Amino acid sequence: MEQTTERRWYEVWKEQCAAAESIRLQYGVGSAFDYVVGEKLLTFANAAEEHPEFARELPQFVSELRRMFTPEEIEEHLARIERERLQRAMDAMDVYDPELDDLDASTAEARRFEFVKEMLAAPTLGTS
The pLDDT mean for the chain works out to 84
The answer to whether the beta carbons of residues 80 and 29 sit under 8 Å apart is no
The pLDDT of 69-94, averaged and rounded, is: 87
pLDDT for residue 1 is more than 50: no
Distance between CA 89 and CA 84 in Å, rounded? 9
Question: What digits encode the pLDDT tens for the residues 41-63?
Answer: 999 999 999 999 899 999 999 99
pLDDT of residue 99 exceeding 70: no
**pLDDT at residue 69 greater than cutoff 60:** yes
The CA-CA-CA angle for residues 115, 119, 124, to 5°, reads 150
pLDDT above 70 as % of the chain: 79
Which of 81, 7, 101, 5 shows the shortest CA–CA distance to 41? 81
Q: What's the average model confidence in pLDDT over 58-72?
A: 95
How many Cα atoms occupy the beta-carbon half-sphere of 86 within 13 Å? 7
